[in-house]
Structure 1
Amino acid sequence: MRDQEVTGPTGPAGPGDEGRRLSTKEAAELLGVKPETVYAYVSRGQLGSRREPGGRGSTFDAEEVTALAQRNRRDTGGSPSTGGELSVRTGITLIEDDRYYYRGVDATELAARHSYEEIAEWLWTGELRPGVLFSAPETAVTAARQAVDALPEHSGPTDRLRVAAIAASANDPLRFDLSENAVLGTARTLIPTLVAALPPMRYDPVDDGPLAHRLWTRLSGRIPDEVSLRALDAALGLLVDHDLAASTLAVRVAASARAHAYAAVSAGLGVLEGPLHGAASGLAHRLLLDVLEQGNAAPVVADELRAGRRVPGLGHRLYPGEDPRARALFALLKAVPGAGAALAAADDIVATTARHRPLHANIDLALAVLTVASGMPASAGETIFAIARSAGWIAHILEEYGERPLRMRPSGRYVGARPPQPLPG
C-alpha cells in the first residue's frame, strides 16, 4: 500500500467510524487486498467477522480493519517517519546488542557446535538434523560443470556460481513447484551442485562428505588438517544469514514476484559481487598480504587513508562494538597451524587504524586471515560468502513465499519534468 492516509470507500477512517461495519468488499478495498485475503486474515485470527441476521455475507468492524491496514503498511513499506526504509517481517535472524541470532538461538554458539548443513536445516525448518549431509544429482552437477568450464579463464567465483545455478535450474523441469517440500529439495541439491561446479584446486577433489570438506578442495591446493576444516565449516555457519543485507533483499524481491528458488538465488548472487558486500573480503585479503610483505601495517594503512579509502575489514554499521562473527572465527583461527603471522598482521591493522579512528575487526578481516593462512586466493572469501549465504537466501525465499505476492512494490517519487512536455526533436 502506498505511503498515504489510509482511506475507506467513503473517506478517511477515523473516530466517526466507531461501531460502523464494513462489507467484505469495503474491507478488501481498505486493506488493498482481494476479498479472499480478508477471510485469510479471519482464519489467522488477525481480524474478526460477524454475520448479520438476515445478511448475505460477513461484516467487519471498521476500526479493526483500519488498524490492520495501518499495521500492514508499517510492516511492508517505508514511511516518512522511518526515513523511507523498507521494513520486512522476518523470523529468521535478529541482530541486537552486538549479537545475532538464528531463530532466537545465538548464531555463534550454533556455528561452534554444529555443521553448516545442520545450521541450514535449522534456518529452513526450525529443526536440527545431526549429521545431515547434502548431495547433488549427477545430471545437475554435469550440466553445471559444463556451463562453468565454458566460461573464460578470468571469470570470477560469482560468475561461476551464477552460471552453475542457471545450468542446474535448466536441468530441473520441476523448478516451478514453489511448495515448501519442493523448495527444500531444491535447496539440499542446489548448494552442493554449486560447490561441485567450481574448478578444483587439487587433482583429487572431494565430492562427498561434509560440504566444507568439498569446498576446501575448490579453494586450496593444500591438504587440510581437521582444525582448518573446522574453521572453514564455522565460517560458513557464521555467514549463513545476516538479516536483510542487500543481496537478501534482492532475493526476497524475486521471491515476492514468485520467481523459483534457482532464479531468486541468482538474484542474490548478482548483488553479492559488489565490493561493498560479498567481495569485501577480497580487499581485506589483499590488504593483509601487503602488510605481511611490508612487515608493518603503518605504511599500508597510510596508503589507504591517503587515497581516501576505507580500511578494508574494519567496522560494521550493525555492530557499534565488536562483530560477533569475527570474534568467533578469530578464536578458531588461533588454533590453525600457520595462521599466527596472518593473525598478527590483522591485529596490527586494527591497532594502527585505531590511531586515526577506533574500529573493530569485522568478519571480512577474519575471513581474510582464514584464506591467507590456508593458501587460498583473494577471491576465496567471496566464494565462501556466496556458498554460505545461499542457505540463508533459501530461508528467506521460503518465508517470502508465505507472504502476499508482489508486496515489495515501493512507489517511485517522481522528480522529473512535469508534463505536458513537447515531443523531443
Structure 2
Amino acid sequence: MRDQEPSPAASERRLSTKEAAELLGVKPETVYAYVSRGQLSSRRAPGGRGSTFDAREVEALARRNRREGGGSPGPAGELSVRTRLTLIEEDRYYFRGVDATELAARYSYEEVAEWLWTGTSRPGATFTAPEASVAVARRAVDALPEHAGPTDRLRVAVTAAAAADPLRFDLSEDTVLATARLLIPTLVEALPPKAYAGKDGSLAERLWGRLSHRDPDEASLRALDTALALLVDHDLAASTLAVRVAASARAHAYAAVSAGLGVIEGPLHGAASGHAHRMLLDVLDQDSAVPVVAEELRAGRRVPGLGHRIYTGEDPRARALFALLEEVPRAAPALAAARDVVATAARHAPLHANVDLALAVLTASSGMSATAGETIFAVSRTAGWIAHALEEYGERPLRMRPSGLYAGPRPPRPLPE
C-alpha cells in the first residue's frame, strides 16, 4: 500500500516512499538504506502507515548522486559509475574521446597507457623497473611451485613489490603514476624467461621473451604490442569494478591492482583466451572446426572466442588485431582455424569473433602456452586499473558501497538450539 503523506507545512513538502524512490531512480528498499546510512531522514506518516521524507533532502541527494555518479543505477538496474576514461558506443570504443583502435595502431602500449592516465601525449614513453624491485618480485615468484599459473605469479609479484615500496600509501597522483610506471615492468621482468629476455626495448619485447621460446619477427612483435594497447581498458569490466571498490576504500595502488588480478583469473574474463587457444589447437589437430564446435555445443558450453555482451556487431579489438595477424606468415594456419570456427558456429548462431579469439590466434601461432593470453591481458589491463584507481581516489571515499536487499527470514527469531 502506498505510504500516506501528511499535510505539509507551507515551508516543508513531504514525499512518500514511492515518490522519493521515483525521484532518486531507485527501489523503495534503497530509500530506507539511505535512511540507515544517515543520508536521508524520515518521519512516520499519520497513523503510522509508512514514512515520509523531506523533499528538499531527497532532491539534494538526487543531485549529488547524479554529480558523483557513484552507486547510482544504470540501464537495466546495473551499477553506473561516472568516468572520463573509456566510452563504448556503437561497436567502437574510445580512450578519453580518441578512437582506441587508432591509438593502438599509431602508438606503443606505453604511450597509450600514458594517454589514458594523463590525457597528454608522451612520445617515446618507456617503463623501466628498478633492479631492487625486480629482484624482490622475482625471488617471490621463483618460490612458487612449477604448476603456478600466470595470475598466481603476477599476484605474488605485486605483493612483493608493494612490500618493498615504503611510499605505497601515498595516494597523490604523481606518486601513483610513478608507481604505475615501475610496477608494470616489474610484473613483466619478474616472470621466468623462456628465451633471452633483457631489460632493454619496449615492454612488448621484454614480455615476448617470457611467453615464447621463439625469436619474434617484426610483425609478431607489432601484433603483441598492439594487443597490449587494445586491451588496456574496457570501461567497467568485472576486474575494473573490483579495482574501483578497493580504491574507494583508499587501498593503495598495489592493493587495487591485486583486487583486479583476483577477478581476472575467472574463465569468463581474463582466462577466456586460453579456452579459445586450446580450441584452435584442437581444430588444427582435427583439420576441421566441425567436430570441435559440435563437442562444445554438445557439452552445453558456449563456443570460446565468439560473441560479446556489449558489442552487437564485430568486436573492434578483434578486427584490429586480426588485421595485423594477416601480416604474420606463421599465423596463417591459426587464422584459418579461427575463420573455420566462426563459419561453423554461424550455422548455430551468427556470432562475431571477439578479442579472445584474436588473442588465441596470436598465442597459438607464436609458440606460446594457452595461458599466455591471460598474462598479456593482465599486464595490459594493469595500466587501465591504475587509471581507474586514480579516478576513484578523487571521489568521495567509500561511495562504492551498495546495500544488500535482505531476503532472509524476518526477525526477531529465537536463538538456535
Normalised to the residue count of structure 1, the TM-score between the two structures is 0.85
Q: In 2, are the aligned partners of 1:110 and 1:119 still within 8 Å (CA)?
A: yes
Residue 150 of structure 2 corresponds to residue 161 of structure 1: no
Instruction: Rate the CA distance shift 1:278–1:416 in 2: closer, same or farther, 3 A.
Output: same
Partner of 1:181: 174
Residue 320 of structure 2 corresponds to residue 347 of structure 1: no
What's the secondary structure of 1:169's corresponding residue? helix
Q: In 2, are the aligned partners of 1:77 and 1:85 still within 8 Å (CA)?
A: no
Amino acid aligned to 2:172: S
> 1:82 & 1:359 partners in 2: Cα distance?
23
Amino acid aligned to 1:169: A
Q: In 2, are the aligned partners of 1:148 and 1:198 still within 8 Å (CA)?
A: yes
Residue 71 of structure 2 corresponds to residue 77 of structure 1: yes
Amino acid aligned to 1:122: W
In the alignment of these two chains, the number of paired residues is: 376
Worse-matched range after superposition: 273-282 or 128-137: 128-137
Partner of 1:256: 248
Partner of 2:301: 309
User: In the TM superposition, what is the alpha-carbon distance from 1:297 to its structure 2 partner?
Assistant: 0.2
> 2:15 & 2:153 partners in 1: Cα distance?
53
Mapping of residues 87-98 of structure 1, within 5 Å:
87-98=80-91
Q: In 2, are the aligned partners of 1:284 and 1:365 still within 8 Å (CA)?
A: yes
Partner of 1:411: 403
Amino acid aligned to 1:132: A
> 2:279 & 2:198 partners in 1: Cα distance?
30
> 1:238 & 1:64 partners in 2: Cα distance?
46
Q: In 2, are the aligned partners of 1:273 and 1:279 still within 8 Å (CA)?
A: yes
Q: In 1, are the aligned partners of 2:91 and 2:311 still within 8 Å (CA)?
A: yes
Structure 2: 5+ residue stretches without partners: 1-10, 20-34, 40-53
Instruction: Rate the CA distance shift 1:223–1:76 in 2: closer, same or farther, 3 A.
Output: same
> 2:14 & 2:380 partners in 1: Cα distance?
47
User: In the TM superposition, what is the alpha-carbon distance from 1:333 to its structure 2 partner?
Assistant: 0.2
Q: In 1, are the aligned partners of 2:72 and 2:81 still within 8 Å (CA)?
A: no
Deviations 1:341-375 (A, max 9, x none): 00000000000000000000000000000001101
Deviations 1:268-307 (A, max 9, x none): 0000000000000000000000000000000000000000
Residue 324 of structure 2 corresponds to residue 332 of structure 1: yes
> 1:103 & 1:408 partners in 2: Cα distance?
23
Q: Which one of 219, 222, 234 corresponds to residue 226 of structure 2?
A: 234
User: In the TM superposition, what is the alpha-carbon distance from 1:421 to its structure 2 partner?
Assistant: 1.3
Amino acid aligned to 1:181: D
What's the secondary structure of 1:100's corresponding residue? strand
User: In the TM superposition, what is the alpha-carbon distance from 1:12 to its structure 2 partner?
Assistant: 3.8
> 2:140 & 2:174 partners in 1: Cα distance?
27
> 1:82 & 1:189 partners in 2: Cα distance?
37
User: Which ranges of 4 or more aligned residues in structure 1 deviate by more than 4 Å?
Assistant: 62-68
Partner of 1:213: 205
> 1:97 & 1:343 partners in 2: Cα distance?
26
User: In the TM superposition, what is the alpha-carbon distance from 1:10 to its structure 2 partner?
Assistant: 6.5
Instruction: Rate the CA distance shift 1:297–1:400 in 2: closer, same or farther, 3 A.
Output: same
> 1:337 & 1:243 partners in 2: Cα distance?
33
Deviations 1:77-136 (A, max 9, x none): 245x85432110000000000000000000000000000000000000001111110001
Deviations 1:209-250 (A, max 9, x none): 210000000000000011110000000000000000000000
Q: In 2, are the aligned partners of 1:145 and 1:198 still within 8 Å (CA)?
A: yes
Q: In 2, are the aligned partners of 1:313 and 1:362 still within 8 Å (CA)?
A: yes
> 1:186 & 1:293 partners in 2: Cα distance?
44
Mapping of residues 371-386 of structure 1, within 5 Å:
371-386=363-378
User: In the TM superposition, what is the alpha-carbon distance from 1:64 to its structure 2 partner?
Assistant: 8.2
Instruction: Rate the CA distance shift 1:157–1:11 in 2: closer, same or farther, 3 A.
Output: farther
Percent of aligned pairs with the same amino acid: 73
Instruction: Rate the CA distance shift 1:205–1:404 in 2: closer, same or farther, 3 A.
Output: same
Partner of 1:111: 104
Q: CA RMSD in A?
A: 2.3
Residue 143 of structure 2 corresponds to residue 141 of structure 1: no
User: In the TM superposition, what is the alpha-carbon distance from 1:67 to its structure 2 partner?
Assistant: 4.3
User: In the TM superposition, what is the alpha-carbon distance from 1:11 to its structure 2 partner?
Assistant: 6.7
> 2:278 & 2:321 partners in 1: Cα distance?
19
Deviations 1:44-67 (A, max 9, x none): xxxxxxxxxxxxxxxxxx988754
User: In the TM superposition, what is the alpha-carbon distance from 1:13 to its structure 2 partner?
Assistant: 6.7
Normalised to the residue count of structure 2, the TM-score between the two structures is 0.86
What's the secondary structure of 2:87's corresponding residue? strand
Partner of 1:290: 282
> 1:379 & 1:78 partners in 2: Cα distance?
36
Structure 1: 5+ residue stretches without partners: 1-8, 16-28, 34-61
> 2:99 & 2:57 partners in 1: Cα distance?
37
Q: Which one of 270, 273, 279 corresponds to residue 271 of structure 2?
A: 279
Q: In 2, are the aligned partners of 1:326 and 1:365 still within 8 Å (CA)?
A: yes
Instruction: Rate the CA distance shift 1:146–1:64 in 2: closer, same or farther, 3 A.
Output: same
User: In the TM superposition, what is the alpha-carbon distance from 1:76 to its structure 2 partner?
Assistant: 1.9
Q: In 2, are the aligned partners of 1:252 and 1:397 still within 8 Å (CA)?
A: yes
What's the secondary structure of 1:94's corresponding residue? strand
What's the secondary structure of 2:148's corresponding residue? coil
Q: Which one of 298, 317, 320 corresponds to residue 312 of structure 2?
A: 320
Amino acid aligned to 2:359: L
